[in-house]
Amino acid sequence: MPQKVQNSKQTYIANMDDRGNKIFAGRTKIKNNFKFKTNNLGKFYEDIDSIAPTIKQLNRKNKISFQIKDHETGVKKYDVFVNGKWHLLNMSQKEMKYFVH
């Protein structure tokens, strides 16, 4: 690992593309090993997600709406809990905005 991590939930496996950009590959950790699926070959390394995603609240009537950006890992899957209860997350592909009814 690049450094000692206080919270192991911050670690993930990244893949480096041809231009040197890192691409999130996986985060599932079983004991001391990572498990992930990929269609890419190349260099993989363990990294730390130290930058929190930005969440921008959008004003919409009768639903919770927001926009999420994760600049470091590019995580594409999110779970939404309101008052401890899981809710289905809907996405507008055109606007890249998320909605919970």
Residue 6 reports pLDDT greater than 70: no
54: tokens are: 């930005």
Q: Grade residue 1 by pLDDT with cuts at 50, 70 and 90.
A: very low
For the chain, the average pLDDT equals 74
Parent domain of 63? 54-100
Query: What is the spatial distance between Cα 45 and Cα 84, in angstroms, rounded to a whole number?
Result: 34
2 within domain boundaries: no
38 within domain boundaries: yes
Q: What is the DSSP letter of 97?
A: E
| Nearest-5° Cα angle at 74, 53 to 92 | 85
1 within domain boundaries: no
Selected residue with higher pLDDT from 96 and 20: 20
Do 64 and 78 meet the contact criterion of CB atoms below 8 Å apart? no
Q: Which of 30, 29, 25 is nearest to 44 (CA)?
A: 25
